[in-house]
Amino acid sequence: FEKVATSLMKKTFKNKGVATVEELRELCLEAEVKMYACQMTVDVFGFDSSEFIDGLDYVGATYFMPVARESDVCLFI
């Protein structure tokens, strides 16, 4: 199901002219956006850091909450 859902989402985004994840990531890198991954989610679902994009910091909520509070913009996705 995941592969079908991912393919459908990519196709829909392309048809609607939405930037790809890769394009959005490149824009974030150019803008020096700091990106974090939830360490607990990574652990709970058995992911490995090799499955994620480079440049992420893996942190817990106790680290992230003060960072988010002091940020001008914070998106939780």
Residue 53, pLDDT score: 86
pTM of the model: 0.68
Residue 59, pLDDT score: 95
Tens of pLDDT, residues 26-52: 999 999 999 999 999 999 999 998 998
DSSP codes joined into one string, the chain: -HHHHHHHHHHHHHHTTPPPHHHHHHHHHHTT--EEEEHHHHHHTT--GGGS-TTEEEE-HHHHHHHHHH-S-----
Residue 37, pLDDT score: 92
Domain ranges of the chain: 1-33, 34-77
